Chains A and B, each alone.
Chain A
């Protein structure tokens, strides 16, 4: 086992007024992920380190952190990616201090403690676009009755209809795209990449009739129009959802929706 230097940005609001860097030396091999390294630190070096994690296989979306300034899923990113290619093979230990990996909490979110951020800032936007199937049937019923009715219905869908939105349905709500988005950094009111991708996912679903309820959120200045097409959201997405494409499709839909509203009075 070789050793690697890792710096973690700590924030302990009850003990220190400001965040500070803590340096660790962690043993690793080709299969050591960033999350493995954090778990090693917590178990062997400093049990006070706090971070979220669960599945270890890029499904739960809870271990998002900044690694050398780029948003990454801790379980899907490996220490070997940050070290010289010949480092593992070489006998020299001099490279340990030369290649230090910096781990920080996700950018643009409020840090609660160490690597734990307030994900509510993202979840309120997700909730705003109503990311669930909405059907016209039973509009006067309570949500519970409506849910029971939806379950009772058979929703048929062809493979072609599924293919229209399938890519956008792969989102795991990890929030990496919000850390990558400079517009969300400038304006926290921006609905943001993942929420717009999810809105587009349901708008494209043949079983859904809730587009009219979603469009007012997307049409506003804080909806699709806050995006200046930087595209970094799609670069960092660990599930290849391509939220930037969803936002651009959303701009076409929003332009159409606003034009229709102007002439008919309904979006």
Chain B
């Protein structure tokens, strides 16, 4: 009688069997989704609405000194890097849904753009903090 298929017992052959990168993209997408929902609206409210309309006044040099600290790194990750990967993942799957992409080229362009944006933002923080 046929029993349930079991994974190969040797560690080397089973360790990488069936693995792919999708969980990594999805994890970045999930984390970015939380940041998009929680942090981005607050940032937009403060920097794009309250400050320009004069409800609050921002001290530029004070902000720069905060940003140069660890808070700037957290801000960059939560407001730029993770939301960028979230958007890249959504655009890639949107292309798949519309049947005009979603394959390797879309992967390279979407996540490549998110990675470039992230690296540029992190480099900016590095320059300020250094």
Contact = CB atoms under 8 A, between A and B. Distances in A.
B93 to A, nearest CB: 4
Interface in A215-236: 216, 219-221, 225, 228, 230
Interface string A225-267: 1001010000000000000000000010011001101101111
A155 interface: no
B18 A220 contact: yes
A226 to B, nearest CB: 9
A182 interface: yes
Interface string B1-25: 1011111000110111111101100
17 contacts: A142-B1, A143-B1, A186-B99, A212-B7, A213-B5, A216-B7, A219-B19, A221-B22, A225-B23, A228-B93, A228-B96, A230-B97, A251-B26, A258-B18, A258-B19, A261-B19, A262-B15
A267 B9 CA distance: 12
| A interface bracket (residues with beta carbon within 8 Å of B) | 20 to 34
A216 B14 contact: no
B65 interface: no
A107 to B, nearest CB: 16
B96 A262 contact: no
A130 interface: yes
B1 A182 contact: no
A265 B11 contact: yes
B19 to A, nearest CB: 6
Interface of B: 1, 3-7, 11-12, 14-20, 22-23, 26-27, 93, 96-97, 99
B10 to A, nearest CB: 8
B27 A255 contact: yes
B20 A225 contact: yes
Given A228-B93, A228-B96, A251-B26, A265 B15 contact: yes
Contacts of A264: 15
Contacts of B23: 225, 251, 254-255, 258-259
A213 B26 CA distance: 23
Contact of A262 (B3, B19, B26, B99): B19
A266 B97 CA distance: 33
Nearest to A219: B18
Contacts of B12: 265
Contacts of B18: 216, 219-220, 258
Contacts of A143: 1
A266 B1 contact: no
Given A142-B1, A182-B97, A225 B19 contact: no
A62 to B, nearest CB: 30
B14 A266 contact: yes
Given A216-B18, A262-B16, A228 B11 contact: no
Contacts of A219: 18-19
B14 A255 contact: no
The CB with the most chain A CB atoms within 10 A, among B15, B20, B22, is that of B22
Nearest to B6: A213
Interface string A122-133: 000000001000
A130 B11 contact: no
B21 to A, nearest CB: 10
Contacts of A267: 7
